Structure formats: structure tokens, C-alpha cells
Chains A and B, each alone.
Chain A
Amino acid sequence: MKLNTLFTAAVLSLTASVALAESEIHVMDTTVFETAPTAMAGGGFMQIMNHGDTDDKLIDVRADYPRVEIHTTEFEDGVAKMIHIEGIPVPAGGMATLEPGGFHVMFMGLQGTPFVLDEIIPATLVFEHAGEVEVMFKVVARGEHGNMNHGEMNH
């Protein structure tokens, strides 16, 4: 009986920890824009949805480049500042959008390996709770995506 109770407690505790860690992350529209042949850096964009009931956070992105960081762009009096940030919150039941002019993944050290149209860039997103999520960034032409996020569609 005592054993049984312990076992039940263990199962309950296991279930709780699974529930706590539950963070159903879905990633969409993983894109990077094609770059010039000699480009040194490129930006990655996507939408991250959290269908779970636990807040999560994108804390790292890994890819086969010398340096990959999560950045945001802030504007002050017409001056753009790119800022290296520790993570992007993805609230439970909500989403995070990485789009031009805001949050983005910065791939650095592209020298000699530019983003070529239609190529696929494999990467690993690391979330605080959901852990690692493998994604493929598709290289697209800038017009397909960039203009859409620049207000041209608003009028």
C-alpha cells in the first residue's frame, strides 16, 4: 500500500512536470531574404505560435554560421539601433512575430556562403520550455515578404 502511494505520487509528479513543460510550439513562415554574393550577414524571420498553456521563450537559434543571435531593432528620432536580446517571449495561447523592422534572427559570418534564392537553411530553435525545435529557413526574394511588412499594403 505504501509502495502504491509512492508510485501514485511519482506518477502524479511526473504528469505535473510534463504538464508544466507542455508548450506546443508551432513555427511558420521561416524565411530569410536572398543576399548579395559578398554579404556578411542576413536576417531570419518567422511566426511562432504557442498552443500550450505555458508561457515560453525563444532563447537561442543555432545554425551553421560563425555567429547566430536574436536581435531586435529599435528606432529613436529616426536612428535605427539593432540590439542583441536574450530571448523573445511566446506567451501561452499567443504568438511571437519576427518581421522586418523588429525581432529577427541575425546570421553572421556568411562570407562566401550567401543566401541564394530557394535554398533551405536548416536551423535549431531553442525554447526555454519546449526545448529544441528543428526548422528550415527558406530563402525568398525580398519583394515577396519585405514589402508586405513595410506598410505598403495598408492603403
Chain B
Amino acid sequence: MLNEILSALQSVATLQNLLIMIAGIWGGVIVGAIPGMTGTMAVTLALPFTFYMDPVPSILLLVALYKGSTYGGSVSAILIKTPGTASAACTALDGYPLAQQGKAGKALNMALYSSVIGDFISNLSLIFFAAPLAILALRIGPPEFFMLMLFALTTVAGVSGNSLLLGLVSAALGLLLATVGEDMYGSFRFAFTPDMQAGLSIAPVLIGLFALPELIKLVVMRVAKKEKAATLGAQHVTREEFMGSLRSILKGSVIGSVLGAIPGIGPSSAAFFSYGEAQRSSKRGSNFGKGELEGIAASESANNGACGATMIPLLALGVPGDVITGVMLGAFMIQGLTPGPLLFQTNMHEVYMLLIGMLISSVLLFFAGKATMRMFAKVSYIPQTLLTPLVLLLCIFGIYSIASSTFDVAVLLVMGVVGFGMFLLNIPAAPFLIAFILGPMLEENLRRAMAISRGDPSVLLSTPITWIFAALIVFALGFTLRREIRKTKTERQVAQ
């Protein structure tokens, strides 16, 4: 095992890989720092470029973008009170008041230190827990896989957006779109044109769904935010300030690692949970929301702490925990690697390379963040009216270059319109994407299970593992419904 780790370390620690990771982290921080641009967008925009790279560097680039954008979200949250990503919303609560007090640099530094520590701990959890989980997963067959994927889908549908019902509708739309093309027995489904016989590629669907609706919103609604960025001011975090927040950083890192590993939870929920916990347990809890460094530490350590952990279900089970890991699942598959338990048997070298690369990228995040803090402060000031058309341009060139297909460009544009329609109807996009990616595997496992059982549907509840997943599905649905009923009651009381 040591030999394999050393060999993987040797393969990762090349100048090319280090440059790729630095570029990914920088790119991620820049995109994350721009309000309206998300980590998902950063990863999806980079996807076409990874087609020409080897598998591990391409995944490392996407992971670096993910980490960079999660930290980058805090830059605009602190400087202009506009979180670049949803997971940085808590950071704005204390970051912006600090910026107004002339301590923006201090807030950005604390966000960076907390992000790096959270990220490092999260990567360690990935290294320790992914392999055992994968070994356990090797014992499961098609019925168990079907139930597992159904569970992941239900959870994502439940936690995305404001309504379980609309999350499920979105998932159903994604499942339906995934059936376009040739099925496992050679029948063509919904092949309206010859191009559609091969099915819809993942890249144009997901890029269209996540990147283009922002442009359409800007053209149709014409709401471009123009905030004045604060100056960096006081920069250094003192030893006392850091030690005073260390407990919350460690606690946030653990919260992020645990919640990130559960499909459907993701960095945003982890950040809110950690912030609430830090506020409850801190001596300076009453100061939270008024410019408290510990608040930033709690939020940032948790949201970056969830980054590595979201890779646990992806690598071990082949189940993406959130949208970004959904995109990465697509990237893995495009590169000929199938995440799941078999990956740990067939591509162990690549897995070690990935894990080591992720640890290295935590360290690079620190240096990249430090070196370019002043530049990032200016990035959050780029007008959206120029930025979003640039995104469109990159999307079109990137998508065309993947398969030299104008049809894919058409799919990209159509999915942008579909994404905008879903936004208007308040239907969340995340379950759609996860369902679109998981759909073929979900169907294949269902059909295999039915074929094995000679058409008996009770095979889906025939083993203890399937019962556990069925119970988890019922629990997830029940929990979400309870939350929604409570929310409706509160809204009614407020209205009365």
C-alpha cells in the first residue's frame, strides 16, 4: 500500500499537475468571487477543457475549481455583502460589518485560514472513509443499487428549493430526459432527429441548465447588481483572534465533513448549521451578526469542510451528493472512470492520485488565496452585463469543441431556455441534473433486478440493505414534509 501511495505521490507532484491545480483554485476563487457566478458554473465551464486532459489532472482541475469557488464566495460576501455562492451567505453576516469597520482584510484572512483547515480535515475524512464504504458497497447488487440511487435522488429533491413536490417534479423531468436515445436493448427512444439517437450528452445539458439561465434572466429582467466594494483595510489576524476561533473552526470542519458526506446536504446547510452551533456555544455569541471573526470561521470551515466530504459518496458509491459532484460524476464518466466500489479495485492508482492531489490542493488554496487577495477584491466589481455574455461565448465554443457538433450547441441553448422556464416556475434545477446523470444507472439496475427476479417487483425490498434504504427514503420524505408543514403553519400565523 505504501508503495502505491508513494507511486501516486510521484505521479501527482509534477509541475504540470501543480500548475493545473493552481489555475483551478485561482479560477475558482475568481468565479466564486463574482456575484451570480457559482461553483457549479466554474466546474461546468471548465468541463469541455478537461476532455483533452488525462483523467486525474482533469478531475484535480475540477476539484480545485470547486474548492476555490467555495472560498471565493466569501470574498464578495465580505466586501459587498453579496455572497458569490449560497454557502457563503453566513459569511456575509459578520464579514460585511467587519469590512465596514475597516477590517475587510482581517475578515478575508480569517475566511482563508478557516477554509484551508476545513478543507484539509475534510480531505482526511475522504481518505479514511471512502475506501471502507466502497468495500461495503461491493456486496450490493442491482436491487440495492436501485434503492440507494432512489434514496440519493429523494434526498436531493427534498433539500433543493423550497418544496419537496417541486423537487420531485424536477427529478422526474431529469429522469425522462435521460431516456432519450438508445436503451440497453437497442431500442431508440424519443429520437425525433437522427442526432438524438445517440442520446443527449451530459455536458450541454448541465452547462445549459446552470450557466445560461443567468444570462436569460439578465436579458429579460435586466437586474444587474452594482455594489461598491469595501477597501481591504486592516489585514492581519492576530494569534489571539485565531486561537479564539480555533474551536469553532475545528467544530465547523467536523460538521462540514459529516454533513457533506450525506447526499443532498452540501456546503450551504453545513455552513448554516455550523454558524448556528458556534453562535450557541461561543462566549461572544451575542456579537454574531455584528462583525465577529468567529462567525466567519464557523461558516467558512464548514462550507469548505463539506467539499472533500461530498466526494465520499461519489467515489465510494457512485452517488453524487450535490450538483457539483453530479457534474464531476459526468467528468469521471467522460474520462472512462466509473465512480463506485469497483473504482477502488480497477483504478486504485488513480484514486490515490486524486486523494493526494486533493490534500495538496488544500495547501495551494492557502498560498493562492494569500497571493491574490487584493486582485480578488477587484474581481467582484466586474459588470454582469459583460460577464454573462462572455460565459455564453465560452459555453458555445467549449461545447462545440467536445464533439464538433452543432447539435450539442443547440441542446445547450434549448436547455438554457428550459432552465429559465424552471426558474420562473420555481422548479429547482439540482434534482433535474442529478436525475439526468443517475437516470440511466437507475433504470439499468431496475431492469436488471426485474429480469433477475423474473418480473417480481418485491425484489426491490428483498434484502436488509434494501429495507434500510427504503426506511431512509421514508424518513427523508417524512422529515421534509414535516419541515414544509411547519413552515406553512408559521407563514399562515404570520399572515394572520
A binds B: no
* A residues lining the B interface (CB < 8 Å): none
